Amino acid sequence: METIVTLLPNSANEWLSLCVDIGLITGIFMLWVSWYRNGRRQIKLEQLLLSATSQLDQATHHLDGALQMIDKLQNKHDQQPEQESAPLRYQDHQQQAPRRQNKPLPDRATAPLQQQVAREIPQSSTQATMILRMHREGDSAETIADRLDMPLAQVTLMLKLHANAASSH
């Protein structure tokens, strides 16, 4: 018992020194824990970024395919004589196309990113063609979105992609 009592500090300076040492050890330990957690978070973030990048590449590939189909359809349309091809009216297209039902949107935190991207891509080349045709005729993106019953972000995305594709040719 006497050996334990002799190990304890006798003076206030020794107690202060012991408290500072314990505080430094605790601080270093907390910094290490923080560094470890940040490293784990960074690894998870990099994995999410890689996943999002691959999904974005896949969506870009689909949009490139849609733009190529649009170009083919435009070339085919341009090659046909004017008397043979009757222009498709926007109102006719809206009457033929089924109206979207107002469904509740899924929680964005739980819905996979791939489903969110797929929902924002035009579902057919007809929509893309209609967007581009209406834009060429001078309609604004808001007007096109209202007439085709589409999200404004989808219309502006298609217009930007078409502008980028046209400038690269």
The Cα-based distances of 161 to 93, 122, 143, 155 in angstroms read 23, 12, 18, 10
Express each pLDDT in 95-120 by its tens digit. Answer: 554 444 444 444 444 444 444 444 44
Where do we find the tokens 């001078």? Answer: 138
Those residues with Cβ within 8 angstroms of residue 165's Cβ, 6 or more apart along the chain or in another chain: 64, 67
The torsion region of residue 149 among left (phi > 0), alpha (psi -120 to 50) and beta comes to left
- pTM for the structure as a whole: 0.34
The answer to whether the beta carbons of residues 127 and 148 sit under 8 Å apart is yes
Percent above pLDDT 90 for the chain: 25
Higher per-residue pLDDT: 31 or 103: 31
Express each pLDDT in 51-86 by its tens digit. Answer: 888 888 888 889 988 999 998 888 888 887 654 545
Task: Supply the pLDDT for residue 165.
Answer: 80
Both structure tokens of 154:
């989808």
